[in-house]
Amino acid sequence: MESEVSAGRRPDMKSVALAAGVSLATVDRVLNRRAGVHRVTRERVLIAAQSIGYLSPNDATLLSRPEAMKVAVLLPRGGNPYLVSLGATTREIAARTHHNVNMRCRFVPAFDGKALVAALEDAAGWADGIAFMAIDEPMVAAAVNRLVARGKRIVSIVTDVPGSRRHAFVGIDNEAAGRTAAMLLTRFAGLDRPDRPGTLALLAATRTYRAHAEREAGFQNYLAAHAPWVRLAGPLEGRDDRGRNRRFVERLLEREPNLVGIYNSGGSSEGIGAALCEAGRRIAFIGHGLTADTRDMLTRGVMDAVLTQRAETMIATALAALERDLEDTTLSMQIVFATNLPPASNRIPVR
């Protein structure tokens, strides 16, 4: 290809875009060393820019080394042990990761759409990409759309914000998690036959978390299809608060003499376990998130099963989705019993 310099014309960014077969916006991101461009596309743009005389070979070499992508991870602040653990894991990965990223983790007031929108806008002031645990509210979806329009890469983790333009969702199939919990709980509690009536209780953090609404739907759909004779108490919104969960269960034990099982689709299961132990009741109990408290309750026989996903896998996959285009990623859900507890120090390498 004859360079525009040798032809007497001064090459510009539009010339580079035409030569590389990409958009002007992509050329701008490459030449300004912004993240979010696939390695192959970046190389094509630099080769084209050099071939038409827009860049010298030395400039092209320097630009082939993109700056580290700046990533913000936003999580709800509160007493949910799994989210505390997820934040700690994020900071661990930020310190030792081989990804070309500069990552920060920030905790935001839980269940507060306005606070989350403010945190998203604030993080976008310095970050190229944001991974966050969404609240399913229109104002949050609108904030995501604004940031995507500004060129920010946005990935929701754990729970999604449907209807927004976020680039990907990383998490388990939450409806399947609810169905699985219902199947296990009916069998553990002996309610899988119509001649064994009883009551199950459903606790959640809040339905503004899409994940919890989906878990609730999966749980109830399974009961309607496979155990319609089971009476359901709840759902009760514990807002991931240990004391609130404990008080809910204390009242349930007083009012529901046939209570034989509890599913906590949110966090802070320790409060539920404390109420059961205080009452001396052995009730089938399933929750989410393998942490120090749920591990302890499994070993003591207070809990029967924990549905979980590796925090390391969650963050590493979110980083991959921020760095390049990925489809929504459904993570493998683990079902942990006292008999298959992984070592407490178990870690998986971050690629």
**3 state DSSP class of 51:** helix
Tens digits of per-residue pLDDT, 107-164?
Answer: 999 999 999 999 999 999 999 999 999 999 999 999 999 999 999 999 999 999 988 9
What pLDDT shows up at residue 100?
A: 66
d(CA 247, CA 262) in angstroms, rounded, equals: 14
Spell out a b/e string for 206-219, using b for 16 or more CB atoms within 10 Å of the CB, else e. bebbbbbbbbbebb
Query: At residue 105, what are phi and psi to the nearest 5 degrees?
Result: -120, 135
Least confident of 4-8, 137-141, 242-246: 4-8
- 262-292 pLDDT, tens per residue? 999 999 999 999 999 999 999 999 999 999 9
Amino acid 351: pLDDT:
30
Whether the predicted model's global pTM rises above the 0.75 cut = yes
Confidence of residue 214 (pLDDT cuts 50, 70, 90): very high
Rg (CA), the chain: 25
Contact assessment for residue 58 and residue 25, using Cβ atoms and an 8 Å cutoff: no
Domains of the chain: 13-63 (1.10.260), 69-172+311-328 (3.40.50.2300), 174-308 (3.40.50.2300)
Lowest mean pLDDT among 16-20, 37-41, 228-232, 237-241: 37-41
- pLDDT at res. 348: 39
